[in-house]
Amino acid sequence: MLNESITAVKGIGEETAASLAEMNILTVRDLLEHFPFRYEDYRLKDLEEIKHEERVTVEGKVHSEPSLVYYGRKRSRLTLRVLAGRYLIQAVVFNQPYLKNKITLNDTVTITGKWDQHRQIITVSQLHVGEANRAHDFEPVYAVKGKLTVKGIRRFINLAFSQYGDQIEETLPVEYLQAYRLMNRKDAMKILHFPTGPNDLKQARRRFVYEEFFYFQLKMQALRKIERENSRGIGIHYVLQELMNFIDSLPFSLTDAQKRVVNEILADMKSPYRMNRLLQGDVGSGKTAVAAIALFAARTAGYQGALMVPTEILAEQHAQSMESMLASFNIRTELLTSSVKGKRRREILQQLHEGEIDILIGTHALIQEEVEFNHLGLVITDEQHRFGVNQRRVLRQKGESPDVLFMTATPIPRTLAITVFGEMDVSIIDEMPAGRKAIETYWAKPDMLDRVLGFMEKELVAGQQVYVICPLIEESDKLDVQNAIDVHSILSHHFAGRYHVGLMHGRLHAEEKETVMSDFSQNSIQVLVSTTVVEVGVNVPNATMMVIYDAERFGLAQLHQLRGRVGRGDKQSYCILLADPKSEVGKERMKIMTETNDGFLLSEKDLELRGPGDFFGRKQSGLPEFKVADMVHDYRALETARNDAAQLIQSEKFWKEDEYLLLRNYLQSAGVLEGEKLD
């Protein structure tokens, strides 16, 4: 049985088992599924193809007797000349004096090491007398911990394989194995651990990539089906005519994309299933209007709504814009954040409970236990990737199974959307309201600050306002970055007597923040120096310029998000990235920012350059961990697996036939079939 403890493997004792346990390797199966994270490539190469300082393995004939020199107390250097192809090179081996007596003139040797092209020397890391062993072209490298070594792990896996190899069973339905010509599990596993050649390795990997994605998607798709069909959702029977009146009252007509997503959302709300939908749309694409329409619709059916955002500033802004849209329809909106305290808070909570408040807007304070609605029908969260997976769950559990809509302005690359949010339906606003001017973005080196200040002055003279963004609040010894407080004092001095410069950062009290923000939106502050707290949602259309200090410190998606604070009116807007990136990737990132305003494109790039963990922030990401597969590079397989899993879950045969028993058991053990939600 593969589920036996690894101590059942002959040759693995208690001590080894304890070490392996530290890496969560407890059973034989765990050990067999501890795959290498890379391979050492010992294929023979022609030195002609090898660049300076690259690692290489060559075969050659010994051309000179090795000479040995001792130096220091225990150090030695062995030098020999080797004829490898057309190259007569020098091989240098450190601290292996015993090799001298093993090597004789005209022997064939296989050496691996770093190639110094200029001096034609290989500094040897491995020398083997004799021809290259083709069976060892690829050597697996494993993650290790504590006392364990890569060699040790190889040995343990070898032991496990010879004893248990025959028990490795197929885990994928035969239809997919055939359709994609996938290798069977046992063979593929063997090849991953004991590679026989590049092509085999590729095929073995392909099989496990599909397997990992398929199992993951099966879970997500099952969850989605169960959430949809078995949830005690509510059908929200909104009053169409009233809703039309509201939409007509908006100061603009909806874009086609807005209309489409509104219809998708309304269909979910009307259905007896519980909505679990993600709404994606670039900054400024008009998600707030869509949210207002959905909340209005719920209200016409007699339900309360909640709008949840990650920061107080944003909550206040949303509260204002909702109020301005909804008040004339006699809909009562209220703001609840952690700074609403005492009597006022008690009043709001009571009125909410009694159903006098129609729409509650606030921060995560909304999901605290004490907040009780009367008949909550719809919950909307904005900028939701900032909420953790668990907060998403708590939210869904509030009230009488309300419909839930998650909005995000960070365009999430398709690959991530279908993994992290694989259990959700997705709506996309892929169109900007007409007449929006693209923000012109420039990259400037810090020594061009004078010109940037001149540029700022021009905008200010024209009556516009400017954001200046800094990565940190205060000076830090560790990071050589401009900080908001310093920059604020420099700019205050520079613009003294002409323009007001405000300061905004996360350590201000809520009231202070509110004052600064409202001063800025009323144009009594013209220049706002701020940390990234203004990142989300803040809307001051008269601000037409943003200067971002140390822009290389931010991710592309975040820069784009920040940049979205300007370009919200009808004037041309500008974004200046002050940055002096040292690396090529850093330069590349700045360049991309100046070249495109397409948030989806940027987020794909960001994902590519930084990897999925960094994209969301590792801790709260809820990203699944795959052993073999890579979400970015294998995304085609991910999409295929998703479609296959979705179809299979919807089919009748899946729930009946024996062939799928293994998969059903898997869903059961993953807690999906009990209707439990996943972490």
Nearer to Mg ion, 66 or 537 (CB): 537
Nearer to ligand ADP, 160 or 283 (CB): 283
Residue 333 beta carbon to Mg ion: minimum distance, rounded to whole angstroms: 16
Which of 537, 555, 567, 624 lies at the binding interface for Mg ion (CB under 5 A)? 537
Nearer to Mg ion, 300 or 317 (CB): 317
SS (H, E, C) 354-421: CCCCCEEEECHHHHCCCCCCCCEEEEEECCHHHCCHHHHHHHHCCCCCCEEEEEECCCCCHHHHHHHC
Specify the pairing of strand 138-141 against strand 38-41. antiparallel
Nearer to ligand ADP, 359 or 456 (CB): 359
Binding partner selected for residue 207 from ligand ADP, Mg ion, none, CB under the kind-specific 5 to 8 Å limit: none
Nearer to ligand ADP, 285 or 640 (CB): 285
Binding partner selected for residue 255 from ligand ADP, Mg ion, none, CB under the kind-specific 5 to 8 Å limit: ligand ADP
Residue 282 beta carbon to ligand ADP: minimum distance, rounded to whole angstroms: 7
Binding partner selected for residue 258 from Mg ion, ligand ADP, none, CB under the kind-specific 5 to 8 Å limit: ligand ADP
CB contact set of 230 (below 8 Å; sequence gap of 6+): 675
Q: Is 281 in the site for Mg ion (CB under 5 A)?
A: no
Residue 384 beta carbon to Mg ion: minimum distance, rounded to whole angstroms: 11
Binding partner selected for residue 348 from Mg ion, ligand ADP, none, CB under the kind-specific 5 to 8 Å limit: none
Binding partner selected for residue 94 from ligand ADP, Mg ion, none, CB under the kind-specific 5 to 8 Å limit: none
Nearer to ligand ADP, 111 or 307 (CB): 307
Query: Which residue stretch of 71-79, 120-128, 497-505, 535-543 sits at the interface with Mg ion (rule: CB under 5 A)?
Result: 535-543
Query: Which residue stretch of 71-79, 105-113, 288-296, 594-602 sits at the interface with Mg ion (rule: CB under 5 A)?
Result: 288-296
Q: Which amino acid is at 510?
A: A
Q: How large is the greatest C-alpha to C-alpha distance in the chain, in angstroms?
A: 98
| CA 489 – CA 578 distance, rounded (Å) | 18
Nearer to ligand ADP, 83 or 254 (CB): 254
| CA 439 – CA 636 distance, rounded (Å) | 33
Q: What share of the chain is helix, strand, coil (3-state, %, to 5)?
A: 45, 20, 35
Of the CA atoms within 13 Å of residue 299, those in its CB half-sphere come to 24
Residue 408 beta carbon to ligand ADP: minimum distance, rounded to whole angstroms: 10
Binding partner selected for residue 317 from ligand ADP, Mg ion, none, CB under the kind-specific 5 to 8 Å limit: none
Residue 537 beta carbon to Mg ion: minimum distance, rounded to whole angstroms: 4
Q: Is 60 in the site for Mg ion (CB under 5 A)?
A: no
Q: Is 402 in the site for Mg ion (CB under 5 A)?
A: no
Nearest 5 degrees, angle CA 455-CA 458-CA 462? 145
Both structure tokens of 341: 């305290």
Binding partner selected for residue 567 from Mg ion, ligand ADP, none, CB under the kind-specific 5 to 8 Å limit: none
Nearest residue to ligand ADP on Cβ basis: 286
Site size toward Mg ion (CB under 5 A) is 2
Residue 398 beta carbon to ligand ADP: minimum distance, rounded to whole angstroms: 23
Both structure tokens of 641: 């697996």
Nearer to ligand ADP, 410 or 482 (CB): 410
Residue 539 beta carbon to ligand ADP: minimum distance, rounded to whole angstroms: 6
Whether the CB-CB separation of 83 and 61 falls below 8 Å is answered with: yes
Both structure tokens of 92: 């240098």
Nearer to Mg ion, 288 or 531 (CB): 288
Query: Which residue stretch of 283-291, 415-423, 569-577, 649-657 sits at the interface with Mg ion (rule: CB under 5 A)?
Result: 283-291
x/- map, 583-622, Mg ion, by CB under 5 A = ----------------------------------------
Binding partner selected for residue 285 from ligand ADP, Mg ion, none, CB under the kind-specific 5 to 8 Å limit: ligand ADP
Spell out where 619-660 has E strands: none
Binding partner selected for residue 252 from Mg ion, ligand ADP, none, CB under the kind-specific 5 to 8 Å limit: ligand ADP
Binding partner selected for residue 281 from Mg ion, ligand ADP, none, CB under the kind-specific 5 to 8 Å limit: ligand ADP
Alpha helices in 231-357, H assignment, sequence order: 240-249, 256-270, 287-300, 312-326, 342-353
Nearer to Mg ion, 110 or 288 (CB): 288
Nearest residue to Mg ion on Cβ basis: 537
| CA 139 – CA 43 distance, rounded (Å) | 10
Which residues does residue 440 pair with via DSSP β-bridges, in sequence order? 574
Distances (CA, A) of 535 to 100, 170, 348, 414, 560: 65, 49, 28, 23, 9
Nearer to Mg ion, 288 or 465 (CB): 288
Binding partner selected for residue 284 from ligand ADP, Mg ion, none, CB under the kind-specific 5 to 8 Å limit: ligand ADP
What residue ranges bind ligand ADP (CB under 6 A)? 252, 254-255, 258, 281, 283-289, 409, 433, 539, 568
Binding partner selected for residue 254 from ligand ADP, Mg ion, none, CB under the kind-specific 5 to 8 Å limit: ligand ADP
Residue 418 beta carbon to ligand ADP: minimum distance, rounded to whole angstroms: 22
What is the DSSP code (8-state) at residue 624?
Answer: P
Whether the CB-CB separation of 366 and 306 falls below 8 Å is answered with: yes
| CA 611 – CA 599 distance, rounded (Å) | 17
Nearer to Mg ion, 153 or 536 (CB): 536
Q: Which amino acid is at 370?
A: E
Query: Which residue stretch of 38-46, 267-275, 286-294, 611-619 sits at the interface with Mg ion (rule: CB under 5 A)?
Result: 286-294
Binding partner selected for residue 575 from ligand ADP, Mg ion, none, CB under the kind-specific 5 to 8 Å limit: none
Nearer to Mg ion, 62 or 315 (CB): 315
Residue 292 beta carbon to Mg ion: minimum distance, rounded to whole angstroms: 11
Q: Burial code of 195-222, b = ≥16 C-beta within 10 A, e = fewer?
A: beeeebbebbbbbbbbbbbbbbbbbbbb
| CA 83 – CA 660 distance, rounded (Å) | 59
Residue 382 beta carbon to Mg ion: minimum distance, rounded to whole angstroms: 6
- Residue 285, helix vs strand vs coil: coil
Residue 281 beta carbon to ligand ADP: minimum distance, rounded to whole angstroms: 5
| CA 280 – CA 414 distance, rounded (Å) | 11
Give φ, ψ of 528 to 5 degrees: -115, 115
Nearer to Mg ion, 112 or 337 (CB): 337
| CA 33 – CA 185 distance, rounded (Å) | 11
Residue 658: CB atoms within 10 A of its CB come to: 7
Whether the CB-CB separation of 193 and 140 falls below 8 Å is answered with: yes
CB contact set of 408 (below 8 Å; sequence gap of 6+): 278, 279, 280, 281, 382, 383, 384, 385
Nearer to Mg ion, 261 or 301 (CB): 261
Q: Is 567 in the site for Mg ion (CB under 5 A)?
A: no
Point out which residues bind Mg ion (CB under 5 A): 288, 537
